[in-house]
Structure 1
Amino acid sequence: MLPRIASFLTAALLGLTLFQPAVGQAPHTGDVFVDKGGVLRWAKGKQEVALFGVNYTAPFAYSYRALGKVGADREQAIRQDVYHLARLGVDAFRIHVWDVEISDTLGNLKENDHLRLLDYLVDQLERRGIKIILTPIAYWNNGYPEKDTGTGFSSIYGKDAAYTNPRAVAAQEHYLTQFLNHRNPYTKQLVRQDPGILAFEVCNEPRYHQPEGPVTAFADRMAGAIRATGCRKPVFYNIAESPQVHNAILNAKVDGLTFQWYPEGLVGGHTLHGNFLPYVDRYPIPYAGDARFKSKAKMAYEFESADVVQPVMYPFMARSFRTAGLQWATMFAYDPLAIAYANTEYQTHYLNLAYTPAKAISLLIAGQVFRRTKRGQAFPSYPADSTFGAFRVSYREGLSEMNTPDAFYYTTSTGTRPVAPAQLRHVAGTGASAVVRYGGLGAYFLDRLAPGVWRLEVLPDAVPIRDPFAKTSLAQPVTQILWNDQPVQLMLPGLGDNYTLRGINEGNTAQATATGGRATVRPGVYVVAAAGQNTAAYGAQTPFGAGQLGEFAAPAPTDLGPQVRHTPPAQTGAGQPLRLTATLTGVGPRDTVLLVAQHYYGRTTQIVPMVATAYATYAATVPAALVYPGLVRYWLVLRRGGQARTFPGNFAGQPGDWDYAHPEHWEVPVVAAGAPLPLFSAGADKDLTEAHGVGENQGWTDYVTTPTGALALRLAQEPASAKNPAPTAGAPVVALRAYFGDRLASRPAAELAGFRAVVVRVRPGAGAGVLRLSLATRDAVAYTADVPVTGTDWQEVRVPLAAFRPAPLLLVPRPYPGFLPLDYTAPRTPGALKLADAEVLQVVLGAAPAGPAPLTVDLESVSLQ
């Protein structure tokens, strides 16, 4: 106790607040219970529980192996990640324990490195005040995305046998008994008695089928095994994974129910673009009115906005969970710092404070939404709920924001002013605001220590260089980390224009005085003080929240050299200057960046200087004289001293050199005014769009060739069978979703006004259902029209834009779990379609009466004409 008392006294003398919401201190300690109304409450004080955080898998499976492959010290990796989680205000942690790695086939617990690291992780989380719910049984083997090597009971009993095979049931009982009676050597606590572990979810995503009796019996038996150890903590059980037997779980003798949410599906293979906020506007649970449901606590064990990097989804998800009555929500899964550069762990997810700074700040904001929103609190439908309480979410701005008297958090540059600048205690964000202007691409945090004294923490620049949701490899970084001197301007009340900065993290000896409020910083931790303030008492070991003032964790610079990320426009209009932008890293102050453009095989070559418009962003304009109908090809050249490097390819030399023999280049078609604008082309866009079945086993997609050899997307309805009953006539069975907002932006507004129809090149199969087109705007308002196809031959069908009428937006990719809504209707009746606002195309095949063979429609292209 003496060290803690000493720390408290030191903090009090220095004017610090030990409770720092921005660094994840939990407001409650001790056990929890579920009351008769199904509310999870703290045993002390009886307040409702509201905890928000992440899953994190470093002790197990791929994460464990990958940390070894990159040579990371696993304990240090855990310490760094837990610090970052605390920095993001996380106060909840959940993981499905890979039982296959810590048990044998009989369910005996193995004392090995996986179990030791889990114990170590639990201890580190508890030191930060982060509460824990463990799911002891995962049912997964440990291989994904590699080969399985686990040898526990889950390696021989699949999910179907897990609750029906007597040996499997006995092994699970044996394992649960030993797991809960395991003593953590770091906390010295038995798992079942550890006050930092609030509850247990029996098993991860079980798979059940009718009849329901064995399901209830198994759930009761597993819950009984936990309670037989003497454990009195709440027991939760998954009800969302097998909704067809939900009554079996509602009848089970468990204290709580668990849910998950993947609102736009999983594993898209590329970044999804467009407005997905309607997908997370609500989380309606179909059994919400059932008395059995109401008597149980609710938690979201996993959620994620998969394949989306926009930092706007988490706050909406947190709010929707609270409206649905959930009291715990943990995102799956936070990427370990040491391997986040490649996003190889579940590549459909991507979240790490250093590597996805804006998305990470949105998690910080979402945690505040979750804790500040009352359980069951209702909100208007999107977009009216984009501003709620202290929060604002804007798809158009790419912004999530929290603005309270004591805290101001934002995910990108914002024009919002703090509501009470003089009362500010915490600031976190990326980009610029009314109180901070920062030139880098990393996150930063400011916490007031005393009047006129602040702690500033700056993370390195994180530059996306590849699509993080495409095929991944540890040998292929998707985000480049750079440690740079970056300009900062602080405009905090009481700080003044001539404040001082003093580095205090390990190795940071920087000292500087601002001029006119402006200074230069590198990644690290600084004590920032008004002129004349004595800050000698603030050192690296000074207590700060649950840690110390000088704590800092950041990845080393990514040693890649200059990197370029650029996607050429799909086309551009003739006679208009062509503006091109690219992400380029590794440019020194004396380097020159050039754009070399040439009409394909034309005689004229333009060399245009590229100008930095922001850190790592360069732009140049190709003169209109070169932009005549045809094809413009171009390169980006980085000149350093007497040397040149050319992109794409990062080759020595430059185009025009007699021996520059590399064929790589970018190109953009130049079309005459009024030329068709492609919204979807099967051959060109197959890796950029989403095409999936909508119902359960009712639809699928494939690519086929036309008689001329062109590629076409096949939309197919499965034939009916005993296991696959025919869907309701007209119901969506398969859909294409294609984002075209960037293509629309490449054409002048005057041209857009000249388009009159959507033209579809299509071949309907005999008996196929109705084909519908939908154009969705940036505000997620959908306009729909049918495609009047006849016969079974290839044909071009014109659908006048005037025929499109407001209609519900089909939510594809399909939200998961399957009980979630499949459509969204704008709350206000919209006016006529404004083409300039459109950004997403949907082509939907409606169900037809089932036949003996698949019913198909082949789609080659969709364009505006």
Structure 2
Amino acid sequence: MPLFSLCRLAATLFQQRTALCFLAFSLLISISTQAQSPPPAKADVYLDAKGVMRWQGSKQEVALFGVNYTAPFAHSYRSIKKLGMKPEQAIEQDVYHLSRLDIDAFRVHVWDVEITDTLGNVLENEHLRLLDYLIQQLKQRRIKIILTPIAYWGNGYPEKDTAQTGFSSIYPKGRAYNNPRAIKAQENYLAQFLNHRNQYTGQLNREDPDIIAYEVCNEPHYRQPEAEVSTFVQRMVQAMRATGYKKPIFYNIAESPAVANAILNSPVQGFTFQWYPSALVGGHTLRGNLLPLVDSYPIPYAKDPRFSSKPRMVYEFESADILQPVAYPMMARSFRSAGFQWATQFAYDPLAIAFANTEYQTHYLNLAYTPAKALSLLIAGKVFRQVKLGQQFATYPADSVFNDFRISYRAAVSELNTPEEFYYTSSTTTQPRKLAALRRLAGTGSSPAVHYEGTGAYFLDRLATGVWRLEVMPDAIAIRDPFATTSLRQAVTRIVWNTQPMQLTLPGLGSDFAVRGLNAGNSFQAQATSSTVRLQPGVYLVSARGKSTAAFTAETMLGAIKLGEFVAPPATDLPTQVMHTAPTQLATGQPAVLQATIAGAAATDSVMLVAQHYYGRTRTLPMRRLTLTTAEATVPADLLYPGLLRYWIVVKRNGTSTTFPGGFRGSPLSWDYAPREHYEASVVAPGSALPLYVAALDQQRTETGGINGGGWADYVTSSNGQLALRLLQSPPPASPIPFSDPTAPVAFLRAYFGDRLATRAADAANFRELVIRGRRGAGAGTVRLVLTTRDAEAYVADVDLPAEMQEVRVPLTAFRPGAQLLLPRPYPSFLPLSFQANGPVALPLAQAEVLQVLLGPAAQSAADARPFLDLESIYLR
């Protein structure tokens, strides 16, 4: 045997022995931590007689949950390069974080426009190489893959398309399936892509056991006749099978429902769907209880035997424009109830550019920058793997506690609580189910097991009795609305590396445990006092006093990660910032608590609120530092008499004052303080009207538009010069819109007012009517008002508006229990339009937080003008 072969054999035996040791160690530390076994390292999938995907060998059902991620392509690639970072390093960092979130599924629509020529020949270029590298990194973390080779997308968004070489640059999506040259290019490309050999793994794409399936193309746009669609799908499947590829082929059935029969009758082995329950690109953060939007995912083809006998996957989902950490777990549960075996969020933001959220403005997910939402994805993965395929649940809110999970909109928390695992997205008082058996913990904020005032995520993994691995991420502080217009020139989230106390109450640890740094450059060593130690972000070995930890080094493996691995962005290089939104109204004669978020202020800095009744007395009030990043002050009642309160927040460091809003040097108490910026709030007497919606002021905090193509929205000026929102009915469609309801409302206004009502809580019982100033024109249909509560109960009242602009009063007693419309309108369009939860017979106004105004369809469409509704304002009085 040649020397090389002998060396290789010796190395193989050593690796096998090492692998056995590693396996034994992994079993010791994780045998009880998984609700479901992780996906096998090397196993293909097959379909059983009922069309369920299972793993070869174990025959266990496939249930994989994860993300899309786009660093090798398009805007992500260009931005990473623009910021001076190597894409390989960015991929390594992000895949580590995905592993830390227990992600086991990855999907992406490959930007064919960047890796092919116009004939469909695969180009061995940088984008393809980076996809190969990404696949290798995912495989090392035991993350399974489904690829969609054909994207049809240009590579520009949100910029202009640039340097496109592929067939999708000349064949638009709506013609790619019936243009002979386009079809030939796609056949050529699919064959070459499946036969591409990954230059890092050495495996052909079609043979890689970790690429468990393919979806042919991304969101195809088809129209009648169905025969053209059938022919195209058959040719794509034949091109893939001709390579020798034997695993499942999936196809999108949600995007073009008008030709669903062509997909159902095709030779594909599975079907794909997406879910955007809050629509896309709202332009600002959505507020209110949006959990009814994700209560269920009914599929119109569910009982069709052509559908029910095949597996289904969710290639993309997202709670777009939502930061609340409660939607993902409920979505995961709804997916399992609907029979899905794969679900991947779109899209995980690369760490390198997540500070600005430029990749997709309407999406925002990253462990470092959106820690609570990222942990909700971790919990959602547990939901997806624990809930049985097809398992049904009661309608929300009855099922907000199910299995080992708790989802609470009111507490803004998602939780997983088993004897071995305890995860939470926000501070919670929930007790771990069995503290002595706890093996894994992750959270933000505080719990009975961990007290921490930072805003970053942390992870605790038990390695042995009295020995834990602790990973602490830096503070993430929102400084701008991430769903507004974004730019690489401005951050939306700020990273701060604060040193803060952490108190641990964990089994076997004691109150005087030892702590030592593990990650590169972290030489920290300390002993806890009263179970508390001050830490900065990093990875630590935490052990009971006197416990030997010599067996644990930075290179020791913990599942798919090394103990010493740590990835976190550097501190954001910005001056001190204060984030605060002034209330619309304050109640007269009552003390008012004003809170602010502060970034970049040291614990020794003082924070003051300078409050002034306009042209009246001025008061300097110290702000209490609740944490390093939050402060509050109480404005006394004697300063809150009817009128206008204006105020400033001043941060003082080493004798130098910085005043907000604006971040100006100096103090508003100084005679020469020139900036005119200030916060202000109206101080109103009991009985004063409360604005729920004012068209001239509320464009950036409300949602408006059409419903299923039935209408649209605009702003106009009324006869008295005031700005009004106009809801209009669309012209009749040339052909029927699939799944549309002709009796459904055509346009809507959705306005969150929960924060406004909170400042007038004492007056809630005294309001008697809702006053709407508006008008209907051109034969417009009915106008319905809907008030929804924190618990998603809805109360409805119809109002008859005249043709001329005027005030119309609606007694609150006129509101009766009813259904709310699911707004913004979910996509796909076959999803439910309305939702109704049981609640008290009478409207509990103190719990109300969202107003909907719905324009119904006109009884008869006007020939010369579009039916419309104009709204100037809506008040509680």
TM-score computed with the length of structure 1 as normaliser: 0.98
Ranges in structure 1 where 5+ consecutive residues have no aligned partner: none
* Superposition pairs of residues 576-595 of structure 1, within 5 angstroms: 576-595=590-609
Which secondary structure does the structure 2 equivalent of 1:369 belong to?
A: helix
- Give the equivalent residue in structure 1 for 2:39: 26
* Superposition pairs of residues 125-204 of structure 1, within 5 angstroms: 125-149=138-162, 150-204=164-218
- Give the equivalent residue in structure 2 for 1:777: 789
Cα 1:13–1:754 shift into 2, 3 Å: closer
Q: What is the identity, as a one-letter code, of the residue corresponding to 2:587?
A: G
Q: How far apart, in 2, do the equivalents of 1:613 and 1:307 lie?
A: 28
8 A contact 1:298–1:325 mirrored in 2: yes
> 1:347-401: CA deviations, max 9, x gaps?
1011000111111111010000000111000111101110111001000000100
Q: How far apart, in 1, do the equivalents of 2:213 and 2:288 lie?
A: 38
Deviation at 1:36, TM superposition (A): 3.0
Cα 1:194–1:523 shift into 2, 3 Å: same
1:84 aligned onto 2:94? no
Q: How far apart, in 1, do the equivalents of 2:518 and 2:27 lie?
A: 18
1:843 aligned onto 2:857? no
- Give the equivalent residue in structure 2 for 1:665: 678
Which secondary structure does the structure 2 equivalent of 1:468 belong to?
A: coil
Identity of aligned residues (%): 62
Q: What is the identity, as a one-letter code, of the residue corresponding to 1:632?
A: L
Cα 1:544–1:391 shift into 2, 3 Å: same
Q: How far apart, in 1, do the equivalents of 2:56 and 2:708 lie?
A: 44
Deviation at 1:12, TM superposition (A): 4.2
Q: How far apart, in 1, do the equivalents of 2:669 and 2:20 lie?
A: 69
Counting matched residue pairs gives 860
8 A contact 1:270–1:688 mirrored in 2: yes
8 A contact 1:540–1:549 mirrored in 2: yes
Q: Decide which of 11, 23, 36 is 2:49's aligned counterpart.
A: 36
Q: How far apart, in 2, do the equivalents of 1:729 and 1:427 lie?
A: 50
1:9 aligned onto 2:17? no
8 A contact 1:23–1:86 mirrored in 2: no
8 A contact 1:683–1:710 mirrored in 2: yes
> 1:80-136: CA deviations, max 9, x gaps?
100000000000000000000000101010111100000000000000000000000
* Superposition pairs of residues 368-387 of structure 1, within 5 angstroms: 368-387=382-401
Cα 1:132–1:768 shift into 2, 3 Å: same
> 1:262-285: CA deviations, max 9, x gaps?
001010100000111111010000
- Give the equivalent residue in structure 2 for 1:706: 718
Q: How far apart, in 2, do the equivalents of 1:694 and 1:43 lie?
A: 45
* Superposition pairs of residues 58-73 of structure 1, within 5 angstroms: 58-73=71-86
Q: How far apart, in 2, do the equivalents of 1:12 and 1:139 lie?
A: 47
Moved more, 718-727 or 364-373: 718-727
- Give the equivalent residue in structure 1 for 2:503: 489
Cα 1:8–1:654 shift into 2, 3 Å: farther
Q: How far apart, in 2, do the equivalents of 1:242 and 1:522 lie?
A: 51
Q: How far apart, in 1, do the equivalents of 2:35 and 2:155 lie?
A: 34
1:408 aligned onto 2:439? no
Q: How far apart, in 1, do the equivalents of 2:562 and 2:732 lie?
A: 64
Which secondary structure does the structure 2 equivalent of 1:489 belong to?
A: strand
Deviation at 1:26, TM superposition (A): 3.2
1:810 aligned onto 2:824? no
- Give the equivalent residue in structure 1 for 2:378: 364
Deviation at 1:683, TM superposition (A): 0.5
8 A contact 2:99–2:561 mirrored in 1: no
- Give the equivalent residue in structure 1 for 2:701: 688
Ranges in structure 2 where 5+ consecutive residues have no aligned partner: 1-11
Moved more, 34-43 or 169-178: 34-43
- Give the equivalent residue in structure 2 for 1:561: 575
- Give the equivalent residue in structure 2 for 1:267: 281
8 A contact 1:460–1:483 mirrored in 2: yes
1:536 aligned onto 2:580? no
Q: How far apart, in 1, do the equivalents of 2:810 and 2:353 lie?
A: 49
Cα 1:274–1:748 shift into 2, 3 Å: closer
Q: How far apart, in 2, do the equivalents of 1:132 and 1:474 lie?
A: 30
8 A contact 1:96–1:134 mirrored in 2: yes
Which secondary structure does the structure 2 equivalent of 1:732 belong to?
A: coil
Q: What is the identity, as a one-letter code, of the residue corresponding to 2:205?
A: V
Q: How far apart, in 1, do the equivalents of 2:26 and 2:489 lie?
A: 47
- Give the equivalent residue in structure 2 for 1:50: 63
Moved more, 718-727 or 698-707: 718-727
> 1:767-815: CA deviations, max 9, x gaps?
010111000000111100011223x111100000000001111001000
Q: How far apart, in 2, do the equivalents of 1:8 and 1:499 lie?
A: 31
Q: How far apart, in 2, do the equivalents of 1:692 and 1:789 lie?
A: 20
Q: Decide which of 453, 471, 474 is 2:467's aligned counterpart.
A: 453
8 A contact 2:816–2:841 mirrored in 1: no
Cα 1:586–1:283 shift into 2, 3 Å: same
Q: How far apart, in 2, do the equivalents of 1:459 and 1:548 lie?
A: 16
> 1:208-262: CA deviations, max 9, x gaps?
0111111111111111111111101110000000111111100010000000000
Q: How far apart, in 2, do the equivalents of 1:263 and 1:368 lie?
A: 21
Deviation at 1:303, TM superposition (A): 0.2
* Superposition pairs of residues 315-334 of structure 1, within 5 angstroms: 315-334=329-348
TM-score computed with the length of structure 2 as normaliser: 0.96
Which secondary structure does the structure 1 equivalent of 2:66 belong to?
A: strand
Moved more, 578-587 or 343-352: 578-587
1:801 aligned onto 2:812? yes
Deviation at 1:27, TM superposition (A): 4.4
Q: How far apart, in 2, do the equivalents of 1:724 and 1:289 lie?
A: 23
1:610 aligned onto 2:628? no
> 1:545-598: CA deviations, max 9, x gaps?
123110110000001121111111011112222221111112223211110111
Cα 1:13–1:199 shift into 2, 3 Å: closer
Q: What is the identity, as a one-letter code, of the residue corresponding to 1:785?
A: A
Q: How far apart, in 1, do the equivalents of 2:469 and 2:669 lie?
A: 52
8 A contact 1:108–1:175 mirrored in 2: yes
Deviation at 1:674, TM superposition (A): 0.6
Which secondary structure does the structure 1 equivalent of 2:241 belong to?
A: helix
Deviation at 1:22, TM superposition (A): 11
1:832 aligned onto 2:842? yes
Q: How far apart, in 2, do the equivalents of 1:45 and 1:656 lie?
A: 73
Q: How far apart, in 2, do the equivalents of 1:725 and 1:131 lie?
A: 37
Q: How far apart, in 2, do the equivalents of 1:175 and 1:716 lie?
A: 45
